[in-house]
């Protein structure tokens, strides 16, 4: 009985991976254009309300000030510097966590006895949410760079392990039989059969991992950091530079979107390259 | 030999090995004892916190917060999700904006919410509600949007009233997805509770207790709190599964 709440709900147990849900895109241009009405209306209301001094600037900064703050941050290099710091933390952590997750997941996927040995412990440990690890890692590692990278790696590790294991376990037996009949070598079987078949599940793991990693990184930068986009945001909040704060919120949203898109594109590219039907 | 292998391969072996290694490493001095605590110390911390009641109080504070936020967020998400799935114009108008809003990493809302709702309990509960809102919204939307068109046509032919349609068709059809959404929402709400207790100025709660323990370099208490947080997540999930079964849907699990 391995009930793994959120990861199970995330669809790792079903045969087909279920990507993080999003609203379906409408098919027609005009329908899509309708989606712009509300944001524009909100922007107009925001602008109008601040123009008429209906909301205090201590509650909601003026849109033009946010735009100017964004321009200033981009101009004086603060944005670039902090963004690069945050992104490099994500990159290192993601690389480490994904590598470890692929290894452990592959071990569990290929060897049922290894899976029986490790899985219960793994599932029990992954019940502890990433945030609850934070004080523990802070004690062990201090609040330096290692803390951020380990936390990101931990956030990526769990879903990637689960995705990889589920992907490999889910390779249809028929495929493996065909591979045997064709007398493919082990390496060929791995590359030509198992890898493409397991790829969608593995990427589901990557995408969950990256989403959680970005969330965890922003969190730790809010709490214990002197650099990075999360720090810039909380620092501006403390100084009551709300225009900077809102600008950073936009940046954080855009980076999250960008990271998710990047992985989706990589997945599509890989699937095409290995000729798997998705 | 066979039974040894069978035993060794079981799921209990690894935790026991790890526990033994942890205890040994602490007692043999391989781990810095100024930093690390032994398993017995964690047990002792648990006993002490149970006896003086601090663990119970913190748990109650956190759970109250968690459930209040979850109730608000999940209910809003559920209603809005069903509404958007059934009313096409509203869907086209609202969904892109909601989708864009969802891209903001959850914790990036904290400074904003603390500004609008204050740094106290309202801010915390608002944040927890936000954490629970999006998964419930998306899954309710998905569940209700996927209803087979033939059923809807049949309902129209039969002249079903809107509320009957909701009870007889939309709710049962969307229920499996809604259960998934509620489950995810509950998990995110718990995550949000811990995060809110770290980030907002806090009175009480497991997350705050944990940060205090960290400030005091009390590894035993930190490990205890980690276990408690994981355990509570598990229990909440079981509770929701029980609730789903009670509602007559066995859910996705």
* Statement: residue A191 has pLDDT above 80: yes
User: How confident is the model at residue B30, as a pLDDT?
Assistant: 82
Expressed as residue numbers, the domain containing B160 is: 50-246
Label each residue of chain A as H, E or C: CCCCHHHHHCCCCCCCCCCCCCCCCCCCHHHHHHCCHHHHHHHHHHHHHHHCCCCCCCCCCCHHHHHHHHHHHHHCCHHHHHHHHHHHHHHHHHHHHHHHHHHHHHHHHHCHHHHHHHHHHHHHHHCCCHHHHHHHHHHHHCCCHHHHHHHHHHHHHHHHHHHHHHHHHCCCHHHHHHHHHCCCCHHHHHHHHHHHHHHHHHHHHHHHHHHHHHHHHHHHHHHCCCCCHHHHHHHHHHCCCHHHHHHHHHHHHHHHHHHHHHHHHHHHHHHHHCCCCC
User: How confident is the model at residue B152, as a pLDDT?
Assistant: 81
For residue B94, give how far its alpha carbon lies from the nearest alpha carbon of chain A (Å).
6
Average pLDDT rounded to a whole number, residues B224-236:
91
Has residue B74 been placed in a domain?
A: yes
- Sort B215 into a burial class: Cβ within 10 Å, 0-12 / 13-18 / 19+: exposed
Chain A residues inside the 8 Å CB shell of B231: 127
Chain A residues inside the 8 Å CB shell of B111: 222, 233-234, 237, 245, 249
Has residue B17 been placed in a domain?
A: no
Percent of chain A scoring above 70 in pLDDT: 87
Average pLDDT rounded to a whole number, residues B118-122:
86
* Statement: residue A222 has pLDDT above 60: yes
* Statement: residue A23 has pLDDT above 60: yes
Chain A residues inside the 8 Å CB shell of B11: 116-117, 119-121
- Contacts of A162 by beta carbon, 8 Å cutoff, 6+ apart: A4, A7, A12, A105, A126, A205
- Under the banding of pLDDT at 50, 70 and 90, the label for residue B129 is very high
- Under the banding of pLDDT at 50, 70 and 90, the label for residue A4 is very low
- By mean pLDDT, which of A253-262, B1-10, B120-129 is the weakest? B1-10
For residue B164, give how far its alpha carbon lies from the nearest alpha carbon of chain A (Å).
26
Has residue B164 been placed in a domain?
A: yes
| Paired tokens of B143 | 């569940």
| Alpha carbon B111 to its chain's center | 21
| Paired tokens of B197 | 């207790």
Distance CA A131, CA B112 (A): 20
Average pLDDT rounded to a whole number, residues B5-17:
71
Average pLDDT rounded to a whole number, residues B132-142:
93
User: How confident is the model at residue B5, as a pLDDT?
Assistant: 55
Distance CA A237, CA A246 (A): 9
Has residue B71 been placed in a domain?
A: yes
- Picking from B13, B89, B194, the nearest residue to A117 by CB comes out as B13
Percent of chain B scoring above 70 in pLDDT: 93
- Picking from A34, A59, A233, the nearest residue to B108 by CB comes out as A233
Distance CA A220, CA A154 (A): 13
Chain B residues inside the 8 Å CB shell of A38: 93-94, 96-97
- Minimal-distance CA residue of chain B relative to A9: B180
User: How confident is the model at residue A12, as a pLDDT?
Assistant: 55
pLDDT mean across residues, chain A = 84
Average pLDDT rounded to a whole number, residues A245-253:
90
Instruction: Give tens-digit pLDDT for B151-182.
Output: 888 888 888 887 888 888 888 888 888 998 99
Average pLDDT rounded to a whole number, residues A227-247:
89
Number of domains in chain B: 1
Instruction: Give tens-digit pLDDT for A47-58.
Output: 888 888 877 777
Distance CA A207, CA A8 (A): 15
* Cβ separation A118–B14 shorter than 8 A: yes
* Cβ separation A139–B104 shorter than 8 A: no
Instruction: Give tens-digit pLDDT for A225-234.
Output: 889 999 999 8
Instruction: Give tens-digit pLDDT for B69-100.
Output: 999 999 999 999 999 988 888 888 888 888 87
* Statement: residue A211 has pLDDT above 80: yes
User: How confident is the model at residue B248, as a pLDDT?
Assistant: 63
User: How confident is the model at residue A147, as a pLDDT?
Assistant: 94
- Contacts of B241 by beta carbon, 8 Å cutoff, 6+ apart: A3, B183, B251, B253
Cβ–Cβ < 8 Å for A164, A202:
yes
CATH number, position B144: 1.10.3720.10
> How are the residues of chain B apportioned to helix, strand and coil, as percentages rounded to the nearest 5?
80, 0, 20
| Torsion angle of C-alpha atoms B113, B115, B117, B121, degrees rounded to 10 | 80
| Paired tokens of A270 | 């890989």
Q: Does domain A63-273 have CATH number 1.10.10.60?
A: no
Chain A residues inside the 8 Å CB shell of B141: 23
Has residue B27 been placed in a domain?
A: no
Percent of chain B scoring above 90 in pLDDT: 34
- Under the banding of pLDDT at 50, 70 and 90, the label for residue B237 is confident
Average pLDDT rounded to a whole number, residues B114-143:
91
- Picking from B110, B145, B226, the nearest residue to A133 by CB comes out as B226
* Cβ separation B35–A118 shorter than 8 A: no
Give the residue extent of every domain in chain A. Answer: 63-273
For residue B136, give how far its alpha carbon lies from the nearest alpha carbon of chain A (Å).
11
* Cβ separation B187–A6 shorter than 8 A: yes
Cβ–Cβ < 8 Å for A38, B94:
yes
- Minimal-distance CA residue of chain B relative to A210: B105
Chain A residues inside the 8 Å CB shell of B89: 34
């Amino acid at each position: 009985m391995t009930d793994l709440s959120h990861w199970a709900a995330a669809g790792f147990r079903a045969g087909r991976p279920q990507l993080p849900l999003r609203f379906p895109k409408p098919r027609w241009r005009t329908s899509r254009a309708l989606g712009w009405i509300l944001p524009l209306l909100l922007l107009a209301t925001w602008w109008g309300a601040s123009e008429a001094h209906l909301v205090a600037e201590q509650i909601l900064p003026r849109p033009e000030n946010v735009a100017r703050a964004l321009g200033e941050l981009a101009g004086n290099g603060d944005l670039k510097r902090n963004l690069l710091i945050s992104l490099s933390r994500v990159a290192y952590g993601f690389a480490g966590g994904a590598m470890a997750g692929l290894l452990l997941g592959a071990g569990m996927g290929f060897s049922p006895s290894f899976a029986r040995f490790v899985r219960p412990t793994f599932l029990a440990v992954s019940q502890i949410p990433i945030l609850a690890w934070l004080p523990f890692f802070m004690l062990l590692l201090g609040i330096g760079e290692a803390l951020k990278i380990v936390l990101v790696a931990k956030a990526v590790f769990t879903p990637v392990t689960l995705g990889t294991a589920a992907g490999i376990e889910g390779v249809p037996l028929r495929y493996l039989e065909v591979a045997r009949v064709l007398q493919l070598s082990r390496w060929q079987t791995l590359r030509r059969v198992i890898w493409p078949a397991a790829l969608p599940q593995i990427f589901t793991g990557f995408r969950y991992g990256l989403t959680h990693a970005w969330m965890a990184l922003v969190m730790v930068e809010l709490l214990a950091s002197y650099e990075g986009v999360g720090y810039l945001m909380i620092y501006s909040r403390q100084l009551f530079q709300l225009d900077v704060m809102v600008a950073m919120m936009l940046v954080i949203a855009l980076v999250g979107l960008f990271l998710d898109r990047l992985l989706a594109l990589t997945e599509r590219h890989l699937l095409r390259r290995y000729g798997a039907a998705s | 030999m066979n039974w040894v292998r069978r035993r060794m391969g079981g799921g209990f072996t690894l935790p026991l090995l790890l526990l033994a290694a942890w205890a040994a490493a602490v007692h043999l001095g391989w781990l810095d004892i100024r930093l690390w605590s032994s398993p017995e110390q964690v047990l002792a911390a648990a006993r002490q916190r149970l006896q003086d009641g601090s663990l119970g109080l913190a748990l109650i504070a956190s759970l109250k917060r968690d459930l209040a936020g979850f109730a608000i967020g999940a209910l809003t998400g559920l209603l809005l999700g069903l509404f958007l799935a059934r009313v096409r114009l509203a869907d086209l108008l609202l969904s892109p904006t909601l989708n864009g809003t969802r891209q903001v990493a959850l914790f990036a809302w904290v400074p904003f919410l603390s500004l609008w709702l204050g740094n106290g309990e309202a801010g915390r509960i608002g944040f927890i509600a936000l954490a629970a809102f999006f998964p419930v919204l998306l899954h309710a939307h998905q569940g209700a949007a996927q209803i087979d068109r033939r059923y809807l046509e049949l309902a129209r032919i039969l002249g079903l009233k809107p509320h009957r349609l909701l009870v007889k068709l939309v709710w049962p059809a969307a229920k499996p997805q809604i259960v998934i959404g509620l489950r995810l929402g509950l998990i995110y709400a718990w995550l949000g509770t811990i995060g809110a207790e770290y980030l907002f100025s806090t009175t009480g709660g497991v997350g705050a207790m944990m940060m205090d323990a960290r400030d005091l370099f009390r590894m035993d208490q930190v490990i205890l709190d980690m276990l408690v947080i994981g355990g509570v997540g598990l229990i909440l999930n079981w509770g929701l599964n029980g609730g789903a079964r009670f509602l007559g849907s066995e859910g996705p699990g």
